Amino acid sequence: MLRGEIRLVDLDPARGSEANKRRPAV
């Protein structure tokens, strides 16, 4: 289910900054 969360972040430009830090964490 981690992949589903990463996809939501990609759709959200505002969360793009946080997605970069969460991507390597996963």
pLDDT in tens, 1-26: 566 566 655 665 555 555 555 555 55
pTM: 0.16
pLDDT of residue 4: 58
Cα four-point dihedral sign 22, 24, 5, 2: negative
Cα four-point dihedral sign 7, 13, 18, 20: positive
pLDDT of residue 22: 58
Domain that holds residue 23: 1-26
Please report, to the nearest 10 degrees, the dihedral formed by the alpha carbons of residues 2, 22, 10, 15 taken in order.
130
* Number of domains present in the structure of the chain: 1
Cα 2 from Cα 9, distance rounded (Å): 11
